[in-house]
Amino acid sequence: MVDERIAAGRTFADASLLGAFFLPRFLGLAEEETDERGRVNNAQLLSRLREILEPAAASMHLSNLTIHQLHQGLFTLTKMRRSPERGRQVLKLARQDYFQVAWDLHGFAEALGFIAPEAHRGWARALSRIGSNEPVVPETHSNRKGRRRRPRRRRRKKS
């Protein structure tokens, strides 16, 4: 499936391509760490995800950025299993540097039947409302205009 998309002209980040390899195993872990009410044990899932990614990352000499994007992109899928309920949720996730990896993995998971097509369409609609399927560039101090919202507190001098 990934090969077909690349042959069709799509390009993917390294983290997305590596994530496709780990996708079935991660989704199995996510299922194991989800209780009957649908709540995910995030701490345990992150620990188990780290256990499966660290040996591969070390042997492939991956950059810290690629590891971060791979780790967070996979973990974000747990938040994207259903259609978004709030626009704020979509905007908050879309601003993250790893969101494009998560979005690519979401497409792979939907094509493989791990995620319901309705959930993928719901996320696509929500992303189109905020402008595009590309991640939103977060506001940084260098591109922020204007003054601080409130002045810094001055420290009291000790006598």
Predicted structure pTM score: 0.74
What is the rounded distance in angstroms from the CA atom of residue 4 to the CA atom of residue 75? 25
Residue 130 has φ and ψ, to the nearest 5°, of -90, 0
Contact assessment for residue 26 and residue 77, using Cβ atoms and an 8 Å cutoff: yes
The whole-number average pLDDT for the span 24-53 is: 91
- Could you say which DSSP state residue 134 is in? S
pLDDT given at position 32: 92
pLDDT given at position 146: 55
Burial call 68-87: b when 16+ CB within 10 Å, e when fewer: ebbbbbbbbbbebbebbeee
Which has the higher per-residue pLDDT, 143 or 123? 123
Contact assessment for residue 71 and residue 49, using Cβ atoms and an 8 Å cutoff: yes
Residue 16: band (very low, low, confident or very high) from pLDDT cuts 50, 70, 90: very high
